[in-house]
């Protein structure tokens, strides 16, 4: 029996790794689940474990209110004893937790697997891009979600241990959408009509930590709701709320008619909001993938994306934070022809990863 240590730390990792964790738990190996605490808030974190019906972590740490370099250093220090005798360390995605787990495995001489390997924005000003590149370089097993991701790795001369397995976000959707539609009352609670509102999420540091970008985005939201006549439903991330206040933009945002700011939602409510929206506006990678699956057009409020497949099939448009570009992109996507293919797999990614892990461990 081998020892597998899986390290997660953020809400997107909880969502995407839940199907993988469940599949790994079913193997005849010891499986230790570690939560770094990179995101740790009862409403915005623990509820995701509950919604995903994911077991509690075996080890729970806390990184709240630490800058990125200390998040990496602290995670390495805290998780070292757990991973010291692991036969395989597994990380996901591109977070500070991902980088810490990858560096730790390397320094301990432990084998490493990277879930969601090979995705690239080709924008190295993004901290996430550096994290994912380093994790891929250090990994023995690289679980790429798409052929494009595999090709990205090959262009970087990373060729061994690559497996195209799809994206576990599809597993999570297919496993939870029926439950979400049965349990969630979010549409009724907010008085929303299906297909008659826009869902907005906006929280990335490059957007909200810069006053000019955040101010532009707020003006864009005002223009979009006025131009379309559609209400924008905006679950406000704590980071975004903090920065709106810090830059003196909270009153402006609150005064926009048609921009409804709500508390962060759980995963099941968010799925229902996504599936029934006329359009998704987001700077989140996960929502680009999820709205693609739901056949809901997307406008990404960034200058680049690690999900180029969504652009190629017409599901998604990049608009940055410029009000003119955002308004134009929204108008275009609201009349986009749906029916694009799903590029992210058939919902069996977790099982495929577990099988490959089992074969690797012998």
Secondary structure of the chain in HEC code, one letter for each residue: CCEEEEEECCHHHHHHHHHHHHHHHCCCCEEEEEECCCCCCHHHHHHHHHHCCCCCCCEECCCCCCCHHHHHHHHHHHHHHHHCCCCEEEEECCCHHHHHHHHHHHHHCCCEEEECCCCCCCCCCCHHHHHHHHHHHHCCEEEECCHHHHHHHHHCCCCCCEEECCCHHHHHHHHHHHHHHHHCCHHHHHCCCCCCEEEEECCCHHHHCCHHHHHHHHHHHHHHHHHHCCEEEEECCHHHHHHHHHCCCHHHHHCCCCEEEECCCCHHHHHHHHHCCCEEEECCHHHHHHHHHCCCCEEECCCCCCCHHHHHCCCEEECCCCHHHHHHHHHHHHCCCCCCCCCCCCCCHHHHHHHHHHHHHC
φ, ψ of residue 329 to 5 degrees: the values are -65, -40
The per-residue pLDDT string of the chain (362 residues; one tens digit each, 9 = 90 and over) reads 999 999 999 989 999 999 999 999 999 999 999 999 887 664 556 778 888 889 999 999 988 778 999 999 999 999 999 999 999 999 999 999 999 999 999 999 999 999 999 999 999 988 999 999 999 999 999 999 999 999 999 999 999 999 999 999 999 999 999 999 999 999 999 999 999 999 999 999 899 999 999 999 999 999 999 999 999 999 999 899 999 999 999 999 999 999 999 999 989 999 999 999 999 999 999 999 999 999 999 999 999 999 999 999 999 999 999 999 999 999 999 999 999 999 999 999 999 999 999 999 99
Residue position matching structure tokens 């069996």: 348
Contact 293, 198 (CB under 8 A): no
CA-closest candidate to residue 288, choices 128, 167, 154: 167
What is the assigned CATH class of domain 186-334? Answer: alpha beta
Q: How confident is the model at residue 349, as a pLDDT?
A: 98
Kindly provide the residue ranges of all beta strands, DSSP E only, lying in 75-132, ordered along the sequence. 88-92, 112-115
* Domain boundaries defined on the chain: 3-167+345-361, 186-334
Pick among 3.40.718.10, 3.40.50.2000, 2.120.10.30, 3.90.1300.10: CATH of 3-167+345-361: 3.40.50.2000
Structure tokens at 267: 């995963």
- Quote the distance between the C-alpha of residue 43 and its chain's center: 17
Asked if the domains 3-167+345-361 and 186-334 are classified in one and the same CATH topology, the answer is yes
Residue positions annotated with a catalytic role: 203
Round to whole Å and give the CA distance between 292 and 259: 23
Whole-prediction pTM: 0.93
Give the bridge partners for 113, in sequence order: 90, 141
CA 169, 282, 177, 278 dihedral sign is negative
Round to whole Å and give the CA distance between 52 and 129: 27
Question: What is the tens place of the pLDDT at every residue in 292-345?
Answer: 999 999 999 999 999 999 999 999 999 999 999 999 999 999 999 999 999 999
* 3-class secondary-structure state, position 6: strand
Q: How confident is the model at residue 224, as a pLDDT?
A: 98
Q: How confident is the model at residue 116, as a pLDDT?
A: 98
Q: How confident is the model at residue 19, as a pLDDT?
A: 97
Q: How confident is the model at residue 260, as a pLDDT?
A: 98
Q: How confident is the model at residue 41, as a pLDDT?
A: 63
Q: How confident is the model at residue 44, as a pLDDT?
A: 58
Q: How confident is the model at residue 308, as a pLDDT?
A: 96
- Quote the distance between the C-alpha of residue 151 and its chain's center: 21
Round to whole Å and give the CA distance between 136 and 118: 7
CA-closest candidate to residue 322, choices 181, 167, 197, 212: 212
Q: How confident is the model at residue 24, as a pLDDT?
A: 98
Structure tokens at 52: 């995903």
Q: How confident is the model at residue 40, as a pLDDT?
A: 63
Assign residue 338 a region: left if phi > 0, alpha if psi is -120 to 50, beta otherwise?
A: beta
Round to whole Å and give the CA distance between 296 and 272: 12
Assign residue 229 a region: left if phi > 0, alpha if psi is -120 to 50, beta otherwise?
A: left
Q: How confident is the model at residue 188, as a pLDDT?
A: 98
Round to whole Å and give the CA distance between 15 and 19: 8
Element (H, E) at 135: helix 127-138
């Amino acid at each position: 029996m081998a020892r597998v240590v899986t390290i997660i730390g953020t809400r997107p990792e909880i969502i995407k790794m839940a199907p993988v964790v469940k599949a790994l738990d079913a193997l005849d190996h010891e499986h230790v689940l570690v939560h770094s605490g990179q995101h740790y808030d009862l409403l915005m974190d623990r509820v995701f474990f509950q919604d995903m019906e994911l077991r509690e972590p075996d080890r729970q740490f806390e990184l709240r209110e630490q800058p990125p370099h200390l998040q990496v250093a602290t995670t390495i220090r805290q998780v070292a004893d757990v991973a010291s005798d692991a036969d395989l360390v597994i990380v996901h995605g591109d977070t500070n937790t991902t980088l810490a787990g990858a560096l730790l495995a390397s320094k301990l001489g432990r084998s490493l697997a990277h879930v969601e390997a090979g995705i690239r924005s080709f924008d190295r000003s993004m901290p996430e891009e550096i994290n994912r590149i380093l994790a891929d370089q250090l990994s023995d097993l690289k679980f790429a979600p798409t052929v494009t991701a595999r090709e990205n790795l090959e262009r970087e001369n990373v060729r061994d241990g690559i497996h195209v397995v799809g994206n576990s976000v599809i597993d999570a959707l297919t496993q939870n959408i029926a439950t979400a539609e049965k349990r969630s009352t979010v549409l009724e609670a907010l008085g929303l009509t299906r297909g008659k509102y826009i869902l907005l999420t906006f929280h990335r540091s490059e957007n909200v930590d810069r006053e000019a970008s955040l101010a532009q985005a707020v003006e864009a939201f005002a223009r979009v709701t006025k131009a379309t006549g559609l209400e924008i439903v905006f679950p406000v991330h704590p980071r975004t709320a903090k920065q709106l206040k810090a830059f003196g933009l909270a009153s402006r945002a609150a005064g926009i008619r048609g921009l409804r700011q709500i508390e962060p939602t759980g995963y099941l409510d968010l799925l229902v909001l996504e599936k029934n929206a006329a359009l998704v506006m987001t700077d989140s990678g996960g929502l680009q993938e999820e709205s693609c699956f739901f056949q809901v057009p997307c406008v990404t409020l960034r200058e680049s994306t690690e999900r180029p497949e969504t652009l190629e099939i017409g599901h998604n448009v990049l608009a940055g934070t410029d009000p003119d570009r955002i308004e134009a992109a929204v108008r275009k996507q609201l009349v986009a022809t749906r029916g694009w293919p799903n590029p992210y797999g058939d919902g069996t990614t977790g099982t495929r990863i577990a099988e490959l892990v089992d074969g690797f461990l012998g």
